Amino acid sequence: MEKTEQKQVIPYQRKVQYYETDQMGIVHHSNYIRWMEEARVDFLGQIGIPYDEIEKTGVIIPVLSASCEYKVAFRYGDTFLIEIEGDKFTQVRMSLRYKIYDEKKTVLKAEGSTSHCFLDKNMKPVRLKKDFPGIYEKLALHFGESIHC
């Protein structure tokens, strides 16, 4: 796929909540995967295809794999931002890379990735370009270059 110019996207940012911390006072490792999902859903809304609207068309985007490398811990009250970079995109699959930074984007705190496929509600693969060109075009427009969410 040929790379296209990206639109300006507002970074995904929020504070760490108390319930996300463990007994040691740091964010429990499972929350980073949840944050990647929050950023991914936010990204889809920012490019004009909110996840609930995607599901109304009959398309679902399950996670096939998820990974995260933890570098520096977050604590309660810290603010973070997440950048998403498109890795691979086809009519039937996509994979994304995530960089999770401190509020000022001076410290890379974690990196992760997810891979996904596009299915109908019967769990059968769909070809976005053919079956859902509106979804395909919006993803294709924003996927090739690094994006902030």
| CA distance linking residue 99 with residue 68, whole number of Å | 10
Q: Nearest CA to 45 among 126, 144, 127, 147?
A: 147
Q: Are 22 and 74 in contact (CB under 8 A)?
A: no
* Greatest CA separation for the chain: 50
Active-site pick, 22, 42, 52, 102 = 22
Rounded to whole angstroms, the Cα distance separating 40 from 54 reads: 13
| 19 secondary structure, DSSP code | G
Structure token pair of residue 23: 């007994």
Distance CA 105, CA 74 (A): 13
Active site residue 131: no
Positions annotated as catalytic residues are 22
